[in-house]
Chains A and B, each alone.
Chain A
Amino acid sequence: NAGVTQTPKFQVLKTGQSMTLQCAQDMNHEYMSWYRQDPGMGLRLIHYSVGAGITDQGEVPNGYNVSRSTTEDFPLRLLSAAPSQTSVYFCASSYSGAGNEQFFGPGTRLTVL
């Protein structure tokens, strides 16, 4: 099993550009989530999904969109990048919910100029 994979590993964008961060898992997990990690602030939840076709907002959803068309994939879209979105982004999955062990991907380091 590859676990949780994320691409790209690094990305530099200019303000106003859009892009999609990819996340995939091969563990047949129902629950998937996106976090951003900023210095001194731990991980903050952006969006999450409890299953294919179902998504919901987390603590910091503004400026981001998600979709969950399959169990395996959970892409995160930045609509119009802003410098405040410079961060490290982690995708995670778990068997059935927030109370289960979260398996994290290796992260995407995004810089918005």
Chain B
Amino acid sequence: TQLLEQSPQFLSIQEGENLTVYCNSSSVFSSLQWYRQEPGEGPVLLVTVVTGGEVKKLKRLTFQFGDARKDSSLHITAAQTGDTGLYLCAGDGSARQLTFGSGTQLTVLP
């Protein structure tokens, strides 16, 4: 079983601060996806990273895939209250299955 560990599990910051969420594994993934989930809803895809060392930017969000394709990070610049939510990483590994991390619950305070 391929495991993805996310850290931190909980993060509470003030609006305007920067933050980084980490997603680590000992396994290699073909690609890695980041989702955001709002209460009472299903996760929604933010980005997919495919190439080792790849960096993708989505407005104030920056996603990086590790060179060895075993880890990834999500950096948010100048967080806003609208960024509040559960952030999930998910790896596409072997056996046609998507493995999810345990999630980071982010709360941005006004």
Q: Which residues of A contact B (CB under 8 A)?
A: 4, 33, 35, 40-45, 48, 50, 56, 58-59, 90, 92, 97-99, 101-102, 104-107
Contact = CB atoms under 8 A, between A and B. Distances in A.
B101 A42 contact: yes
A105 B40 CA distance: 11
Interface string B1-39: 100101001000000000000000000001101010000
Contact of B98 (A4, A41, A56, A98): A98
Given A90-B42, A92-B42, A102-B33, A33 B103 contact: no
B31 A107 contact: no
B89 to A, nearest CB: 9
Contacts of A45: 97-99
Most buried by B among A4, A90, A99, A107: A99
Contacts of A98: 92, 96-98
14 contacts: A40-B9, A40-B103, A42-B4, A42-B102, A43-B43, A59-B1, A97-B92, A98-B92, A98-B96, A99-B92, A102-B35, A102-B90, A104-B42, A106-B42
A4 B44 CA distance: 12
B100 A99 contact: no
A106 B41 contact: yes
B22 to A, nearest CB: 14
A100 to B, nearest CB: 8
B106 interface: no
Nearest to A50: B96
A41 B102 contact: yes
Interface in B36-76: 40-45, 48
A58 B35 CA distance: 20
B39 to A, nearest CB: 11
B43 A58 contact: no
